[in-house]
Amino acid sequence: MRNAWLARAAKRLRELFHGISEKGYPLDWIPDDIFKQLKEYWASDEYMALKRTNKANRASSAGGSLHTGGSITYPATLGRTPTQSEVFMRTHTKKKDRGQWVDRRAEDTNQQYEEEIKRLEEERAALIAAVDMREQVTLLNRELTQQAEEHKQEVQALSDRHAAQIRRLQSSFDTQTTEFDRWKSIVSQMYSFMQNMQAGSASSNVGMPPLIPPPPPPPPPLQHGPSGATDQPPSDADRSPHDDPDYI
* pTM (predicted TM-score): 0.33
**What was the pLDDT predicted at 145?**
87
Domain limits of the chain? 1-59
In Å, what is the CA distance from 171 to each residue of 123, 162, 166, 167, 175? Answer: 70, 14, 8, 6, 6
Q: Which residue has the higher pLDDT, 203 or 144?
A: 144
**What was the pLDDT predicted at 68?**
60
C-beta contacts of 145-150 below 8 A and 24+ residues apart: none
Q: How many CA atoms lie within 13 A of 167 on its CB side?
A: 6
Share of the chain above pLDDT 90, in %: 4
First-to-last C-alpha distance (Å) of the chain: 174
Mean pLDDT of 11-31: 77
Q: By CB neighbour count within 10 A (0-12 exposed, 13-18 middle, 19+ buried), where does 93 fall?
A: buried
**Residue 65's CB: how many other CB atoms inside 10 A?**
12
Q: pLDDT per residue over 57-113, tens digit each?
A: 766 555 555 556 555 566 667 678 888 888 888 888 887 887 888 888 888 888 998
